[in-house]
């Protein structure tokens, strides 16, 4: 198992001025830096690639899906922009050596409405149409795209493992898989271990192992022992990543409803969270 932490814990958006995080994250003992791509143009990617290579860290790439990046939007220009963003992130993942690009790729975060069944079908149709294309692009670049279910307060489209399985089954691309965030699972699943078993090794490409309150892993009410047991049973041996939020931008605060500090400091959350991971998965 390899342990990582998202740049979201310290910076939003992550930019070239945030590159000191590479040395910090390596010094804390992590294996992986998860780079959240909010504004790709603010990052000097060749320089970042050099710094990461020198540090010995591995990379995973995650997305940020605002209203303008919604591949299920009823606006064709927004759908086109969402596909372009996902495509660019797949290319960045390939260039940076990340095996995955993950996030709520199917819609915009914060899109929560009561809509008709007809509208749901239309939006799902647009989503699948675009994800089929994404699957082809991901296959060309050797990247797995992780479809991440979010809780009901952040999306009305994919909340559960069952819904994610249904979506990726319909898309039917070997490169479209599922990424789980245990914070969301804690709200939506009857049992997180059972959800992990149901998804299985072949479909599960990434885990963001976050606490029930998005605070320090190990300090909340998650069934961590059960989660570890389920991951062991299916043979999961990929990344375990902390993704929570420290320096919160206005957009992230609204999308994730982060209104208070989640720990005494981002550094403390990272160090103590990594220690918990290592003790749990040892």
Rounded CA-CA distance 170/89 in Å is: 23
Instruction: Provide CB contacts within 8 A for 36, sequence distance 6+.
Output: 6, 7, 8, 12, 13, 14, 62, 63, 64, 243
Q: Which residues are catalytic?
A: 148, 243
Measured CA to CA in angstroms, residue 262 lies from 11, 81, 85, 219, 245 at distances of: 14, 33, 30, 11, 8
Residue 153 structure tokens: 């307060």
Rounded CA-CA distance 249/36 in Å is: 13
Handedness of CA 103, 105, 109, 112 (dihedral sign): negative
* Radius of gyration of the chain, Cα coordinates, nearest whole angstrom: 17
Measured CA to CA in angstroms, residue 243 lies from 79, 217, 249, 274 at distances of: 26, 10, 15, 12
**Is the distance from CB of 171 to CB of 137 less than 8 angstroms?**
no
Rounded CA-CA distance 204/108 in Å is: 22
């Amino acid at each position: 198992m390899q342990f990582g932490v998202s740049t979201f814990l310290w910076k939003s958006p992550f930019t070239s001025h945030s590159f000191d995080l590479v040395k910090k994250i390596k010094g804390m003992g992590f294996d992986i830096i998860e780079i959240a791509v909010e504004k790709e143009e603010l990052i000097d990617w060749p320089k970042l690639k050099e710094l990461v290579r020198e540090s010995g860290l591995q990379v995973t790439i995650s997305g940020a899906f605002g209203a303008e990046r919604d591949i299920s939007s009823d606006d064709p220009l927004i759908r086109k922009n969402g596909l372009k963003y996902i495509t660019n992130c797949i290319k960045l993942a390939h260039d940076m050596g990340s095996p995955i690009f993950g996030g709520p790729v199917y819609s915009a975060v914060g899109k929560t409405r009561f809509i008709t069944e007809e509208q749901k079908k239309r939006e799902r149709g647009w989503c699948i149409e675009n994800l089929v294309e994404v699957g082809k692009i991901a296959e060309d670049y050797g990247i797995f795209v992780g479809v991440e279910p979010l809780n009901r307060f952040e999306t009305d489209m994919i909340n559960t493992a069952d819904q994610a399985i249904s979506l990726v089954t319909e898309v039917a691309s070997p490169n479209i898989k599922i990424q789980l965030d245990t914070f969301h699972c804690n709200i939506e699943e009857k049992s997180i271990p059972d959800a992990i078993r149901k998804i299985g090794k072949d479909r599960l490409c990434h885990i963001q192992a976050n606490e029930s309150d998005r605070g320090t892993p190990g300090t909340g009410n998650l069934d961590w022992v059960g989660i570890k047991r389920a991951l062991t049973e299916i043979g999961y041996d990929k990344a375990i990543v902390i993704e929570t939020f420290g320096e919160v931008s206005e957009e992230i605060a609204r999308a994730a409803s982060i209104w208070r500090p989640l720990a005494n400091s981002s550094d403390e959350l990272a160090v103590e969270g990594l220690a918990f991971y290592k003790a749990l998965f040892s």
